[in-house]
Amino acid sequence: MNGLLRVSRAIDSLTERIGNVLPYLVIVMIGTGFYNVVARYLGRFLGVRLTSNAAIEIQWYMYSVLFFLGFAYILKHNLNVRVDFLYAKWPPARRAWVDLLGTLLFLIPFCILGIYVTINPVLASWGRLPNGNWGVWEISPDPDGLPRAPIKSMIIVAFTLLLFQSISQVIKYIAVLTHSVSDSEAAAIEEYHAPVTE
């Protein structure tokens, strides 16, 4: 079990590093949005075009990347939305059983299916033709638009990171159930972030 826990810690470390970058991406995205708004109105006032569709599209690309890269981080920190009022009161071992079954039966198959169904559309976006040859990238239909292939590739990256984190979570749930971690570690693994109520 110790070897598996080391694998889990390595995945958690990767997820954590990616999660720590996301706040900076938020700042860049907000700055880009601010620039787009100011440039659009200032450009109208001056009669000069100061922004482009590329600048607008890069903003929503960053917005998409935030979500794509955030999935694994949310899972690691157990921040996903839950509607189960019983779950919050359960001990860590019972939560681990529910989370283990849910991850094995639903989340991991969902990630694998997500990767499988997006591979061909992403390759087509990069220019792969039905005959196996390569053509031109998919480009935004808007004037000065950006290539779509890189952002579509992030779908596969997101599912892959979520799959890795799911595997890490499974290892941790099994560690909780087999008492391979201390009670405090088990509580931290199964920490439930319930919504704050007044």
Which domain does 150 fall in, by range? 2-18+71-189
**Count of other CB atoms within 10 angstroms of residue 166:** 25
**So what's the pLDDT on residue 66?**
92
Spatial CB neighbours of 132, under 8 Å, sequence gap ≥ 6: none
Record the tokens describing residue 58, joined without a space.
């890069």
pLDDT band (50, 70, 90) for residue 94: confident
pTM of structure: 0.83
Is residue 146 assigned to a domain?
Answer: yes
Q: What is the secondary structure of 46-99 as a DSSP string?
A: HTS----HHHHHHHHHHHHHHHHHHHHHHHHTT-S----TTGGGS-HHHHHHHH
Chain mean pLDDT for the chain: 85
Angle at 16 between CA 12 and CA 19, to 5 degrees: 140
pLDDT band (50, 70, 90) for residue 195: very low
Q: What does the pLDDT look like over 25-67, one tens digit per residue?
A: 999 999 998 998 888 888 888 888 887 888 888 988 999 999 9
Is residue 194 assigned to a domain?
Answer: no
pLDDT at 179 over 90: no
Is residue 30 assigned to a domain?
Answer: no
Is residue 24 assigned to a domain?
Answer: no
Is residue 58 assigned to a domain?
Answer: no
Is residue 29 assigned to a domain?
Answer: no
Q: What does the pLDDT look like over 136-163, one tens digit per residue?
A: 888 888 888 888 889 999 999 999 999 9
Q: What does the pLDDT look like over 69-88, one tens digit per residue?
A: 999 999 988 877 666 677 77
Summary count for the chain: helices (H), strands (E):
6, 0
**So what's the pLDDT on residue 70?**
92
Contact present, 113 and 163 (Cβ < 8 Å) = no
Angle at 161 between CA 73 and CA 91, to 5 degrees: 50
Is residue 65 assigned to a domain?
Answer: no
Is residue 141 assigned to a domain?
Answer: yes
**So what's the pLDDT on residue 188?**
67
Report the domain count for the chain. Answer: 1
